[in-house]
Structure 1
C-alpha cells in the first residue's frame, strides 16, 4: 500500500502554477518596500517584490476572505443562539521542514495581514518555545532527537491553543533562543489578538500515543493551515548554506550553543552540516513532517532560490 505523501494524486486540491496564482490579484502597487522586505527576510533568504506580489498578496487576500467568513458566521451564530459571545482569534498554522523557510513565510504573512483594511492585531508564535528544555532532553536521552515529536511538550502547546480559542484575554507562550539553543526564562504575552500565526515543523502532526483515549491535535485549533514544501535536495542545500553563514555570524558569539564550530573550514562545515541533515533532519522530515503535508489547507511548493513555483489549495 503506497503512502499518501509519496504518490497519491492531489485530487483533493486545486493546483495553480505560479503564473496562474499571480493572476488572482490585479494589484500592482508595492505592498512591502525594500526595507520591510529586508527586515522580514532571513540570513539565507531574501524576499523580492515579485515574490510578494505574485505569491503572498493573493495568499493574504485568500486569508482575508476566510477570516471575514469566520467573523460573519460568528455574528450569525450569536444572533441564532441569542447569545453575545466573544470572537476567538483566527489561527493560522504554518508547517514544513527545517530550513524550508517557514519563519520567513510566517513573518511575511503577518506583515501583510497587518496591512488589511481592518488593521487586525496579529501575533506570531513559534512552537520552538514548546520544546522541552535541554536539561529535560538530556535526561531523557533526546538531545539528538530535538525537533522530533517526543521532544515537544505537546500538552502545553494544546493547552495554550485551547486558552486562545476559549477567548481568554491574556495568554502566555514560552520563548526559545536559537543562540543558546534552549528555552528562555521569558514569556510572550498575547493580549486580545485578532489573528495568531503558529509556526513550527510539528503543527500538523498527530499524537500517536494513547490512541484508545479521545485526543486533541494541534491542528484542531487552526482556521487555516499552510505547508511550505520543497524537494529534499533543495532543503538540504539551504540547510548547509545556512549552517555556513551562521558559522561566520551567530556561532561567533561566545554564548552560542554552536560556538565550538566557529572555526570549521568550508569543507568541514559542509561535511558536518550534511551529517546532521542525514542523521537527524532528513529522518524527521521523512517520518514525521512530510507525511502531514496533505493535512494542510494550502501547500506552497518552492523551487531553487526559495521561489514558489506551485500552489495547491484544498477544495472546499
Structure 2
C-alpha cells in the first residue's frame, strides 16, 4: 500500500508550531492526573492500549490548553454581555474532533471529555458523534449510496447544522439522533438530549470538510460552530492495519451477536477476515480518506500525529 505523503508546509512557512512528545509533555506543568488505570482502560477503543504515560505526556497538556481556551471564551461572553447591558444564555464551548475511520478519534474524544469534566470550571462535557446524522439505511439504499456510507453525501448535514446552531444559541435542551453500531443504522425515535453543557465535543470523520468537499452547497458549515478543532492523524498504512485488526477483533466480539448487522462475518477464518476487511478498506474507507478526510487535516487547530503503535508521537498547534 502506497504511503501517503504528509502535505505539511515547510517549517519556516508552516501555520503550525511543532512539538515532539517530550516538548509537549513539558507543557503539562502541575496539571494533576485525575484518571485511574481502570478508568483509562474503559476509555480505550478496540485494539488500543492507552497508557498512563500517554495520558500524562499528551492529554494532560492538551486539556490544560483547552481549559485555558474555555476560560477565555467564558470571559469573552461575560465582557460582551457587559457591553450590551444584558445577560445572554449560556453558550457551550464546541470542540471538533476529526480523523479517519479506525484512527482512534472516538477514544481521543472520550479522553478529552473525561479529563475536562474534572476541571472545576467545566463539570459538564457532552459528546455528539456525527454517526447519528447519517441517513437511515432505507434512505441510503433508495439513493443507491449504501456503499458510500461515511462519505459526505451520506450525512444529513442540514440536520447536524440545525442541532449545532441550537446548541450555540444556548437552547436549554437540544435533541440529537442516535446511531446503533449493532444494527448499523439510525435508531428510529431515539434521541440523546444535550442540556446546555459547558463543553460539547463533536466527533466524526466529516466535521472539517470544506464547502467544495460537501455534496450540497450550504451557506453555513459544520466547522463554523467550532471554537477549536482537532485532527487525529497517522500514516495510511498504519490506519489500514488498525482497521483490519479491529475488524478481526469485532468478528469475535460484536459480530458474534446474532442481532448484529455484521453477524455474517462472525465465522470467517483469519485469512477470509483479512480479505474482507482489506476489500472494504480499499473500496470505501481508503477512497473516503484520500478524497474527503485527509484534505481537511490542515484546517484543524491541533493535529495529533500517531506512530505505528497507536501512540501520539507529536503535536502540531496552529499559530495564533
TM bucket normalised to smaller: over 0.9
Deviation for aligned residue 1:83: 1.8
Give, in whole Å, the separation in 1 of the partners of 2:122 and 2:31: 21
CA contact (8 A) 1:175 1:183 kept: yes
**Number of residue equivalences:** 313
SS at match of 2:298: helix
Please say if residues 229 and 302 of structure 1, whose CA atoms lie closer than 8 Å, have aligned partners that are also in contact.
yes
Alpha-carbon offset, residue 31 of structure 1:
2.3
- 1:56 has 2:87 as partner: no
Tell me the equivalent position of 1:255.
259
Contact 2:96 2:207 in 1 (8 A): yes
CA distance in 1, matches of 2:47, 2:127: 21
Structure 2 match to 1:8: 9
Partner of 1:239: 243
CA pair 218-107 structure 1, distance change in 2 beyond 3 A: same
Question: Deviation at 1:79?
Answer: 1.0
- Where 2:34 maps in the other structure, the secondary structure is coil
Map of 1:1-316 to 2, 5 A cutoff? 6=7, 8-9=9-10, 11-27=14-30, 29-185=32-188, 186-208=190-212, 215-316=219-320
Contact 1:96 1:290 in 2 (8 A): yes
Shift of residue 279 of structure 1? 1.1
CA contact (8 A) 2:104 2:232 kept: yes
CA distance in 1, matches of 2:111, 2:8: 31
- CA–CA distance in structure 2, aligned partners of residues 183 and 142 of structure 1: 16
Task: Give the deviation of 1:211 after TM superposition.
Answer: 10
The verdict on how the C-alpha distance between 1:82 and 1:30 changes in structure 2, with shifts beyond 3 A counting, is closer
Instruction: Measure, in 2, the Cα distance between the counterparts of 1:239 and 1:184.
Output: 25
- Contact 2:89 / 2:171 at 8 angstroms: preserved in 1? no
Task: Say which SS state the counterpart of residue 313 (structure 1) adopts.
Answer: strand
| 1: CA distance, partners of 2:20 / 2:169 | 38
Q: Deviations over 1:245-302 (max 9, x none)?
A: 0000111101111101111100110011011111110000000000000110000000
**Gap regions ≥5 residues in structure 2:** none
Q: Do 1:5 and 1:294's aligned partners in 2 also have CA atoms closer than 8 Å?
A: no
Q: Is the partner of 1:138 in helix, strand or coil? A: helix
Tell me the alpha carbon deviations over residues 36-69 of structure 1, each in whole angstroms, 9 at most, x when there is no partner.
Answer: 0111111211210001000000000000010011
Q: Which runs of 4+ in 1 moved over 6 A?
A: 209-214
Which digits, 9 at most, give the CA deviation of each residue in 1:92-116, with x for residues without a partner? 0000000000000000000001110
More displaced 10-residue stretch of structure 1: 74-83 or 5-14:
5-14
Q: Deviation at 1:28?
A: 7.6
Contact 2:153–2:214 (8 Å) recurs in 1: no
Q: Which runs of 5 or more residues in structure 1 are unaligned?
A: none
TM-score (norm 2): 0.94
